[in-house]
Amino acid sequence: MPYLTQLADVARRTGFPVTEVAGWQTRGHGPQPQVQGIVCHHTAGPAGGGDYPSLAVVRDGRPGLDGPLSQFGLGRSGHIYVIAAGRCWHNAPSTSTMHTNSASLGIEAENDGTQPWPDVQKDAYIRLCAELCREFGLPASRVKAHREVNTSKPDPHSIDMNDFRAAVAALIQGAPAPEPSWTEEIVNQLPMIRPGDDNFDVKTVRGCLFARGRVPASAYAQVGLEDWLKSTRCDPGLVELVRGFQQAEGIGADGVVGPKTWPSLLRV
């Protein structure tokens, strides 16, 4: 198995914010040989100090143990830090062959070892484990607390791992479809924008394309950016930009902004 450069995408599927820590894609004690399990930790870091004060330790290590110590960090706010794509020193010696450093991924969640877990952090923890199980084809039973696979460790403190795994299993199986959010409802009400249309929603298309970096300066060189953004006409130049955006997003490049293109443009 190579360096696991898909880990940031897997983390993003949780819906929680993700930071790719510089250099993560080539960081590791060699590549990760296999993924048979997931080990949950707490950092035993400081009680305060912001969202993820243990980042430097997990990335770089501590005296006597070189970093990286874990592929993932998890902040108090549920923010996920992708730290390494290779093997990490997070569990040795392991009592489980499927949870050794060479066989498992580690998640180091910020907690001093006694303080209560914020709900949002626990929710992100469960979701990250579920997405990792999905990615690597693992059952929820392969998610273990460090204390379950290493007799000398206490972490992560106070989390009932049977409840935790049940929540992971429910997510893997697929929770019932949520009610459409208000953003989805708004998107569903947006009109189709076709070549030649002239209405105010065309301005939204222009603004979104510009915000996504899909409008080269040459497109508005003649009229200036402000007038270009204000134009309500779906002219041939705009249609071309829409096509380019659709192509890049892997949706049908028909130049019409409809139910597939709107959510991509609005990132919802």
> Where along the sequence are the contacts to Zn ion (CB under 5 A)?
41, 146, 155
Q: Residue 41 CB, nearest distance to Zn ion (Å)?
A: 3
User: Which C-beta is closer to Zn ion: that of 131 or that of 155?
Assistant: 155
**Contacts of 139 by beta carbon, 8 Å cutoff, 6+ apart:** 133, 169, 172
Of the pair 14, 94, the CB lying nearest Zn ion is at 94
- Smallest gap from Cβ 1 to Zn ion, in A, equals 22
Measured from the CB of residue 110, what is the shortest distance to Zn ion in angstroms? Answer: 13
**Beta carbon of residue 128, minimum distance to Zn ion (angstroms, whole number):** 16
Nearest to residue 122, comparing CAs of 163, 90, 91, 170?
Answer: 163
CB 204 within 8 Å of CB 261: no
Which one, 112 or 254, has the nearer CB to Zn ion? Answer: 112
Nearer to Zn ion, 94 or 261 (CB): 94
- 76 CB neighbour count, 10 Å cutoff: 20
DSSP secondary-structure letter at 233? B
CB of 235 to Zn ion, least distance (A): 59
Dihedral sign for Cα atoms in the order 242, 247, 253, 258: negative
CB of 101 to Zn ion, least distance (A): 12
Q: For the purposes of burial, counting CB atoms within 10 Å of the CB of 20, is it exposed (0-12), middle (13-18) or buried (19 or more)?
A: middle
Q: Nearest-CB residue to Zn ion?
A: 41
85 near 74, Cβ under 8 Å? Answer: no
C-beta of 147 vs 206, nearer to Zn ion: 147
Residue that the structure tokens 């697929």 belong to: 174
| Closer by beta carbon to Zn ion, 84 or else 238 | 84
- Element housing 62 (H / E): strand 61-62
